[in-house]
Amino acid sequence: MLAEPRAPDAPARVWRDWALIAVFAPAIVLEGIFRPDLPWRVGCVVVALALLPTLLWRRTQPLATVAIAFGFTTVAPLVLPGDACQMYATSFLVLLSYTLFRWGSGRDAVLGSAFVAAKVAVAGLAGSISGGEVVAGFAVMFAAATLGAAVRFRAAARLREFDRVKLLERERLARDLHDTVAHHVSAMAIRAQAGIAASASQPGAAVEALRVIEAEASRALTEMRAMVRVLRRDQPADLAPSPRVADIERLAGRFRAGPAVDVEIRGDLGDLPPTVGSALYRLAQESVTNARRHARHATRIEVSVAADDTSVRLRVSDDGEAGTIRPAGSPGFGLMGMMERADLLGGTCEAGPNPDRGWTVTAVLPRAGVGA
């Protein structure tokens, strides 16, 4: 546990932090004014307000904020007339315990837990709280810490799943690129054999064969450059041919259940590299599958592919009920895979709800693939 690093990407401050300050600050003042049994009324309010800003740094400095807040409230009952922690509004300290286990390292969690345990224990020994309240205090802090750890592990598991989806998409792209390069190398070998066989009787045929080999080698090198940083695990080879952009038309049709799918392809797509054509098909297939699965009461899915001189644009839209298929800030695994594939080819992929009805996925890929 001590070797556990801090959770990555901890936000410094969000609007919720300021909302908490706006809620707890007046609550502390009002409790100080209207609570009759509060000892050392002014001092309690000042101490509570002084500790309140720890909420603003609780994610970036979880151990420091816990040490300051719980350390001071541990010593306060021993040296001050009254206990500032007896204020109900200081319940914001529970958030510090949660954040310690959500964002802190393993070392932070162990050391911070000592401060939390000391605060509850000292309050019980000093007589500020009863034995039952001591047990309840430990239970509340333990519940907050457990919730923080659970959220942390769930977020880590989701990140691992995203990484797995990205790696799987890289493997698929690697297989597509492997098939393409193998095609070019095979063509080079055949042309070389033909040139050798005809060189004795037709010297010009050998020269023509060399030109073809040069062209195929250039295409193969272009595809090989796209394989840089693409990983592939040791798995059985997929012998099925890679899909092409023309295969998108096979997604069209009316099914026994669900919305109809219409496909429209515009522009010259004849010279697209196989990697780009395969990526367009995968993106269209995943988008149509998501629409048929998640678009409520949709009657039609439109798939449009348009090409110009520099790029190819794919758009998949449905007419389902208003709302989002997935939260915009938390893309699903299928959408994450589509974004990863588009990014590997130097393009973009975006998805979101339409202004009126339905959901749209838009992908733009360069015609020449990576480096275009």
pLDDT tens across 43-99, in order? 788 888 888 999 999 888 998 999 998 888 887 766 665 554 577 888 888 999 999
Per-residue pLDDT reduced to its tens digit, 112-153:
888 888 888 877 777 667 778 788 888 888 898 899 889 988
Cβ atoms of 47 and 72 closer than 8 Å: yes
pTM: 0.51
Look at residue 322 in the predicted model and tell me its pLDDT: 57
Tell me, what amino acid is at 65?
T
Percent of the chain with pLDDT over 70: 76
Nearest to 316 by CA among 305, 327, 331: 305
Per-residue pLDDT reduced to its tens digit, 159-192:
787 777 777 776 776 667 666 666 667 777 777 7
Domain residue spans in the chain?
A: 15-129, 245-366
Pairing verdict, β 300-307 and 348-353:
unpaired
E-strand stretches of the chain:
260-266, 300-307, 311-318, 348-353, 359-366
245-366 carries CATH number 3.30.565.10: yes
Mean pLDDT taken over the chain: 78
- What is the pLDDT averaged over residues 267-290? 83
Give the separation between CA 321 and CA 299, rounded to whole angstroms.
Answer: 10
Look at residue 339 in the predicted model and tell me its pLDDT: 81
Look at residue 1 in the predicted model and tell me its pLDDT: 66
Query: Which of 304 and 210 is assigned the larger pLDDT?
Result: 304
Written as six digits, the tokens of 331 are 């893309």
Give the separation between CA 59 and CA 253, rounded to whole angstroms.
Answer: 52
Per-residue pLDDT reduced to its tens digit, 223-237:
665 554 444 444 444
Pairing verdict, β 260-266 and 300-307:
parallel
Look at residue 84 in the predicted model and tell me its pLDDT: 47
Per-residue pLDDT reduced to its tens digit, 17-44:
899 999 999 998 998 888 887 777 787 8
Look at residue 239 in the predicted model and tell me its pLDDT: 42
Q: How confident is the model at residue 315 (pLDDT cuts 50, 70, 90)?
A: very high
Cβ atoms of 67 and 57 closer than 8 Å: no
Backbone φ/ψ region at 196: left (φ over 0), alpha (ψ -120 to 50), beta:
alpha
Q: How confident is the model at residue 370 (pLDDT cuts 50, 70, 90)?
A: low
Percent of the chain with pLDDT over 90: 8
Q: How confident is the model at residue 241 (pLDDT cuts 50, 70, 90)?
A: low
Place of tokens 């009787």: 201
